[in-house]
Structure 1
C-alpha cells in the first residue's frame, strides 16, 4: 500500500508524462521515463518506449474536441503504472521526482495549465483558496 505522498507523486508523474507527450520535450522525457519504468531491463525499456510512443501518437491523432478527455484517460493510466512501480520499487521515488522536474523545466510556461471546477449545490457554500486550504461544505450557521 502506497503512502499518500507516493500516490501524489505517481499522480504528478502521470500528469508530467501526458503533459510532455506530443511536445518538443517528448524525446528526452520518453527516454528518461522508459529507463525509470524498466529498472535496468533492456527488454522492458524497449517495451516502455513503445507504450510511451503510443501515448504520444494517440494525443497527436486526437481531435481538439477529444484531446482533453483522452489526456485525462491517459493520465489515469500512467498514474496507475507509476503507482505499481512505486509499490514494487519505492527507491524509484527520487528518480520519478527528477523526471517530473525535467518535464517542468522542458515545457514552456504556456503548456502548463490548471483547471479548478467548484460546484455548490442545495445551499452549500464553498470557500476556495487556490494553492492553500480548501473548505467545502456549508458555511457557519446563519450564513
Structure 2
C-alpha cells in the first residue's frame, strides 16, 4: 500500500449509526482491526460476535476494532438494535468499497479485514470470514 493511501486512511471520518462521527485519527498510535462488513452478508454477520469478543478481551491491551458498514444506514441501525456491538461502527456506504480496494481488496468482496499496527502500517489483510486462529495470531501483533 502506498504511503499516500495510509495517510489518507488516518484522516478519514465516518458517521456513526447512533450519531456523531468516528475519526480514524483518534485511533492512531494503537493497533487497529478494521473490518468491512454488511448486514446482507451472512459470513460478515457470523463473525461479528467473535470480533466483539476480540474487542472485549484485547482492548485492555490497546487493541481497537472498527467495523465499517458497506450498507444503508437504516439497515445498519436496525441490525445494531437487534445485535448490539461494543466496538465502534462507521457508516462507510458504497464509498467503503473504494477504501477497501485501496487497502488491497481488489475484488470488493466481504467480509474484508485489515490489521494495522500501532505504527499505522498494514500488518495483515484477510478476505473472507475470520477464524478464532486468525484473531489469536493477530492479538500477538502490535
Normalized against structure 2, the TM-score is what? 0.31
Normalized per residue, the structure richer in helix is 1
Normalized against structure 1, the TM-score is what? 0.31
